[in-house]
Structure 1
Amino acid sequence: MKKMIKALSNIAREAGSAIMDVRSKGFKIKDKDDKSPVTEADIASHKVISKYLTEIYPGIPILSEEGTNISYEERRQWKEFFLVDPLDGTKEFIKDNGEFCVCIALMRDNRPVLGVIYAPTQDALFTGSIETGAHVSRNGGTPVQISTIPQAEGEGLNIVGSRSHPSPDLAEYLDKMNVAKMTPAGSAIKFCLVAEGKAHLYPRFNPTMEWDTAAGQAIVEAAGGTMYGLDGNEFTYNKENLRNPGFIVKA
């Protein structure tokens, strides 16, 4: 796992550089079939990731947000694959608030077992697997181990939630809790805030896609946290419909 984490980390950084290059030059925005936005940065990052993953791991298929024309009949046979979001937080990228990232996960038996998330504006690289634990490297420095910090007895909850997708259900859910702080954030960076002990809880009621959550789940679980569906059951991947139901991430 250590060797793959290093390789995927390098790929994520290269993809982040491609994103920042587009950001510096300006870019066009298009709408995909589902009306979600896509930019030249999404495509540039996808090309970098696909190129290097195919070269280094030719036997492992890739399911990417920007390359999803793979039939369910084909991918349901996969025992192992990469699940990729080349630019998670496209809306945040368009707003230019810096809250976007590159997400790469290794899936085995439809479970995320390794995750890499790179936030290029912060030069922050988060990695995690159960085998190695979770780490963060900032500004190219030595990776430092991170872990979740559960809520202490009597302590108010630090909650992290979506910046661009607020939900009335979330407000109702939190109304029953002792909330000390609510921090809005974009993209899979929310998983990282839980993983490094800066938030206790990330509840999500609005839909996401599988590539939005896989890398984050791997990192949170490697840091000692959990992620389950709103029904309390294990979160499932490689479904026929790649849209996710709601979930709760806990320290």
Structure 2
Amino acid sequence: MTTLDARFGAALADLCEEAADLVRPLWKSGLVVDRKSDDSPVTEADRRAETLILAGLARLAPEVPVVSEEHASEFGAPGRIGRAFLLVDPIDGTKAFVRGDPNFTVNIGLIVDGVPVAGAISAPATGETWFTTGQGVLKRINGGAAASVRVRVWPEGAAIALVSHTMKPQTLQALADRYGFHGTDAMDSSIKFCRLAEGAADIYPRHGPTMEWDIAAGHAILAAAGGRVEAEDGGPFLYGKAKAGFLNGGFVARGG
């Protein structure tokens, strides 16, 4: 039986890095961009990475069901799910990948009883990988030695929010007034959770929709590093919303 706790993150990290190695040569290679039914982009890189990850998870954890983005997009998400399952996003930030920007990631998260308990994220463009352990979160770069990371204490007067590139100025000001941050950094993908987890920023408010596979791994990493993710109303942010197609509502991710 697979170890269904934070320690599984190390195995997931190895698999994320395998997928990152596959994806990296395809970045900036002029891949054809197709459109899914929701008009979001998908490329051969997404499909190849997902195939690799699903095969790896079948070896690592054959007893744990998997919900993955491209499979769900093509065949539909399951209408029900068990207490333990895996969420896979083979490339989170496909729009950034297509533009040639570096902030796209490979994500795998493990959910138990609605809570993300283990996760790994790899950033193919930079070689960075973050993953949960029994003692917190480790980060390694290009397969080097892993080092512990942790959120930072909220810096009064200098807090940084991570936001979308396309956020309108009036929306940004409303968020600053509500949450009290002072500066911003715009980037795509779940790497925002990792930057919070390693103390490079302080808050990531997301009031628009996401899918569970977009953020589960990042949520697990941030929580293990001392941060938290809350629903927009301040309540717990849970997973396994099969009847809603694994669609999320708004949330706020925080560092220390």
TM-score (norm. length: structure 2): 0.90
Partner of 1:145: 148
Q: 1:158-213 CA deviation, whole Å, 9 max, x = no partner?
A: 11112256585443121355433200011001001110001111111121111111
Hey, what's the Cα distance between the residues in 2 that align with 1:166 and 1:64?
Answer: 31
Q: d(CA) in 2 for partners of 1:229 and 1:166?
A: 22
Within 5 Å, give how 1:112-191 maps onto structure 2: 112-129=116-133, 131-152=134-155, 154-164=156-166, 168-176=170-178, 178-191=180-193
- Say whether the 8 Å CA contact 2:7–2:132 is kept in structure 1: no
CA distance in 2, matches of 1:215, 1:48: 18
The structural deviation recorded for 1:4 is 2.7
CA distance in structure 2 between the aligned counterparts of 1:102 and 1:64, rounded to whole angstroms: 12
Contact 1:125 1:136 in 2 (8 A): yes
Measure, in 2, the Cα distance between the counterparts of 1:56 and 1:37. Answer: 29
Match of 2:105 in 1: 101
Q: Percent identity?
A: 34
What's the Cα RMSD here? 1.8
Give 3-state SS (helix, strand or coil) of 1:220's partner.
helix
Instruction: Give the Å deviation of 1:139.
Output: 2.1
- Tell me the SS of whatever aligns to 1:21: helix
Q: What corresponds to 2:12 in structure 1?
A: 8
Partners of 1:164 and 1:186 within 8 A in 2 = no
When residues 229 and 99 of structure 1 are mapped into structure 2, their CA distance, relative to the original with a 3 A threshold, is: same
The superposition leaves residues 106-160 of structure 1 with CA deviations (integer Å, 9 ceiling, x where unpaired) of: 111121100100001110000125x3301111121111111111213x4321111
Structure 1 equivalent of residue 205 of structure 2: 203
Q: Which runs of 5+ in 2 are unaligned?
A: none
Q: How far does the alpha carbon of each residue in 1:2-54 deviate from its partner, in whole angstroms, 9 at most, with x for none? A: 76333211110111112113225431111111111111111011000001101
Which amino acid in 1 is paired with 2:96? E
1:18 — aligned with what?
Answer: 22
Where in structure 1 are there 5+ consecutive unaligned residues? none
Is the Cα contact below 8 Å between 1:79 and 1:110 reproduced in 2? yes
Range moving further from structure 2, 164-173 or 24-33: 164-173
Cα shift readout 1:221-240 (whole Å, capped 9, x = no counterpart): 00001110111110121112
1:72 to 52, 68, 79: 79
Whether the 8 Å contact between 1:170 and 1:204 is mirrored in structure 2 is no
Give yes or no for contact 1:91–1:164 (8 Å, CA) kept in 2.
Answer: no
Aligned letter for 2:41? P
